[in-house]
Structure 1
Amino acid sequence: MEIKNAVLTLTSLAQESRLEIFRLLVKAGKTGLSAGKISELTQIPPSTLSFHMKELLIGGIVHSRQEGRFVIYSAHFVVMNELMTFLTENCCSGEECLPDFIQRC
């Protein structure tokens, strides 16, 4: 992942409602959720949800697909994993970075 893409993706997640939506979509897995179900579970009004979904789509961190008259959103796991790799690829210069008590868990 290039730094410009990482910044765009992180920017799309850098808001409380969008982060909540993304975490919900991660939990839903590949099946995803309809816009109506996301609105219901997050208590975000449909018009506001549309704005947030647009930002997540621009950031590339979610997919959308049409199923009949419903728009189904799902987390874009490839982009999520690319972002995590980008953020941690040079972690601790190859040295062990987790405290001993965490490694034992």
Structure 2
Amino acid sequence: MDDLDRAIADEDAHGFIKVLTVPGKDRILGVTIVAEHSGDLIAEYVTAMKHGLGLNKILGTIHIYPTMAEANKYVAGNWKRAHAPQRLLRWVERFHTWRRGT
């Protein structure tokens, strides 16, 4: 929350969001939000859980700037980075290095 422009402008840059997912999947099992406007922020997760949408769908949604709802996008982005397929990324990096001839 401390990187969120809206939270900084409103002097509410404290708190956290924790999302529990199925291991290896982006399906949301539960969410904990401890912050100002947590009731507004959790609505997106409730909708996603009800309709079987995962964090990738939240990440792909356009969030209005600057709003507190961007925190949901940041959480989904952090999840995506933490669960990136490292083995595949290393292989792609080696392939492109080979193709460039360096």
Q: TM-score, normalised by structure 1?
A: 0.29
Q: TM-score, normalised by structure 2?
A: 0.30
